[in-house]
Structure 1
Amino acid sequence: MELELRHLRTVRAIADAGSLTRAATALGLAQPALSAQLKRIERTLGGPLFERHRYGVRATALGELVLERTRILLPAVTELQQEATRFAHAPQHRHTPRLRIGSTHGPLLGALVDRLARTAPGTDVTTRTSWSERELADLLTEGRLDYALTGACGSAPPPGPDRLTWREIAVDPVCVMLAEQHPLAHAHQIDLADLADEEWACVPGDSCFGDCFTAACARAGFTPRRLYETDTASCVHLAQVGRAVGLCRATFPGTPGITVRPLAGTPLTWRHLLGWHPAVQSPDAAARVLAQARAAHPELAVSPP
């Protein structure tokens, strides 16, 4: 039997799990099948890789040698796969220019696509949306997106690994959306404390926004009664019927039955960010897309009433 990468991943899984039973569960195999596979691997490598004890397994000296190599080989192969994907999808290898943009923010994404369509009419633009900032960063890293339009709460760091490049588009105050019949709907701005008895709604995410909102409420002297985390359409509906006050960014579009108002003192902010992989996107190309994103933002931002 020739040694393959899947065999090294199996050895790594057994070592990480600490027992054949737990490793079999993690790999989705029956334990007898995993034991038989391990024996074949051990025959190929010339000796036992693990010793059994009452609490699981422990790597032998040969096993430690193999595991040390897997720590180098497996990440290297993963990096090779990612680099190959990025290279294959790089603009210089396409006949028709194409941009793949991911985003957590619909209105700003739409405005950016519109500007790109006007300024680069020969470019095909495809989009992908996700509530997860980390997922978009992973897609950039894997070469499956060219740019990610996302954000971070306050001074929180951008998502994803350090080798990605992130640039700020704009900083928005977090606003509230209220039903038009809400008693505070016509206020110039609203103190967060005046909404202490309300329920709340916002879109989900894996940033620290929820924690920052809770902290802002604590500074205002209350704990939120309930926070609905749901899609944008549901947030709008909950605000329209008076079920909840929606949390939104200043780029939230005008919607019938909804009034958007800033919070006094700006207790929460959101930094709009554009990210890309510097090994794939040229500085000039990235600068052009960033410039269009920055130009699109003021077209959407809500001005105080």
Structure 2
Amino acid sequence: MNLELRHLRVVCAIAETGSVTKAASTLGLAQPALTAQLQRIERTLGGPLFERDRRGARPTALGELVLSRARVLLPAMKGLQDEAARLAGAGDAPRRYRFGGVNSPILGRLVHRLAAEQPQAQITTYASWSVDELAQLVAGGRLDFALTGVCGDSAPSAESGLCWREVSIDPVHVLLPESHPLAGADEIALADLRHEQWVAAPGDGCFGDCFAAACARAGFTPRKVYEADIRGCLDLVDAGEGIALCQATFRPVAGQVTRRLAGTPLRWRLMFGWHPESPAAGVADLVLESALAAYADSLAAHPAYLAWLLRNPGFGVRQPSGV
């Protein structure tokens, strides 16, 4: 006979009630049937599990060993069964939400919303500087959704076969130290920054063709560009060694300010992507709604920018549309 979980439940029931008769009543079995089952279990394990007399049944040393293992295995199996039942009964909801992001301004708020609405959901995040890498991970089934940005009217590569939807479109701002001569202006002409050095994070962003083209239209070629991670960029700006482009909802650290570029020469489109044949596709629209709400939430910390958006309806949160 092979030992099964039901046999371990029998052993635990006898130990907990202290009697084969009481255990049989608890398990809904006849006492002779439970006694015969206990005997088969003891033969399989090679010795008696209980000492039985008029006072009841007490575990032997072998019985204590079996009980110690059973009290670990049975709750673990129960937990596995409960978790499987929750996931199987989740309907259209995915078993997990796996997000990849490229410096996304709404990832934290999106995760917060989903975690509050679906406490049992498994949510993970992955960061990359590359839109293409995230698209490949989503296409390969290693991520469910990607939150990325593209400059101007460009769109993420279609090679991965992902569906892309626009969450928002925002004017690109510039990050300056408070001591900068132009820090007091509400907006700054890009041409007025012709003599500046710049800092940028690695990977995809506006420091490619879009930025070079915007500077050319303003009549200059940008000077030196330092490349660093986000913390390094902030340090370089703080030290006065350069200025940086940033998203409109970026919250600067103490001693730094963000300012609009006059005429919005650069625009940043926040994109949400998934693979149409993935399990996550069934809830992509619902997650997109949460992403749109997360973007709206992010505006609360930027009342001046929110007021600007109200005057410029071509920017801000977008209605879902195919790309």
**In which range does the TM-score fall when normalised by the shorter chain?**
0.5 to 0.7
Cα distance in 1 for residues equivalent to 2:259 and 2:185: 8
Deviation at residue 300 of structure 1 after TM alignment? 2.3
Cα distance in 2 for residues equivalent to 1:209 and 1:273: 18
**What is the number of residues matched between the two proteins?**
215
1:175-216 deviation line (CA, Å, top 9, x unaligned): 001001111111010000111110011222246741110111
Cα distance in 2 for residues equivalent to 1:161 and 1:93: 34
* Contact 2:139 2:160 (8 Å CA) reproduced: no
- Give the CA RMSD over aligned residues: 2.3
What amino acid sits opposite 1:125 in the alignment? I
* Contact 2:200 2:207 (8 Å CA) reproduced: no
Deviation at residue 167 of structure 1 after TM alignment? 0.4
Cα distance in 2 for residues equivalent to 1:93 and 1:197: 61
SS at 2:181 equivalent: coil
TM-score relative to the length of structure 1: 0.66
SS at 2:212 equivalent: helix
* Contact 2:151 2:269 (8 Å CA) reproduced: yes
SS at 2:105 equivalent: helix
Question: Could you say if the C-alpha distance between residues 231 and 93 of structure 1 is closer, same or farther in structure 2, counting changes exceeding 3 Å?
Answer: farther
* Residue of structure 2 aligned with 1:174, choices 172, 175, 178: 172
Question: Could you say if the C-alpha distance between residues 96 and 274 of structure 1 is closer, same or farther in structure 2, counting changes exceeding 3 Å?
Answer: closer
Q: Which has the larger radius of gyration?
A: 2
Cα distance in 1 for residues equivalent to 2:150 and 2:277: 23
* Contact 1:172 1:250 (8 Å CA) reproduced: yes
Deviation at residue 265 of structure 1 after TM alignment? 0.2
Provide the residue aligned with 2:126 in structure 1. Answer: 128
Which structure 1 residue ranges, 4+ long, deviate > 6 Å from structure 2? 91-96
What amino acid sits opposite 1:169 in the alignment? V
What amino acid sits opposite 2:218 in the alignment? A
Cα distance in 1 for residues equivalent to 2:206 and 2:172: 14
SS at 1:181 equivalent: coil
What amino acid sits opposite 2:291 in the alignment? A
Deviation at residue 162 of structure 1 after TM alignment? 5.6
* Contact 1:134 1:160 (8 Å CA) reproduced: no
Question: Could you say if the C-alpha distance between residues 194 and 208 of structure 1 is closer, same or farther in structure 2, counting changes exceeding 3 Å?
Answer: closer
Deviation at residue 283 of structure 1 after TM alignment? 4.9
* Residue of structure 1 aligned with 2:216, choices 215, 218, 225: 218
Where does 1:95-110 land on structure 2 (aligned, <5 Å)? 97-110=95-108
Gaps of 5+ in 1: 1-90
Cα distance in 1 for residues equivalent to 2:206 and 2:251: 24
Where does 1:85-234 land on structure 2 (aligned, <5 Å)? 97-161=95-159, 163-206=161-204, 209-234=207-232
1:57-93 deviation line (CA, Å, top 9, x unaligned): xxxxxxxxxxxxxxxxxxxxxxxxxxxxxxxxxx869
Cα distance in 2 for residues equivalent to 1:160 and 1:281: 20
Where does 1:42-57 land on structure 2 (aligned, <5 Å)? none
* Identity between Structure 1 and Structure 2 (%): 49
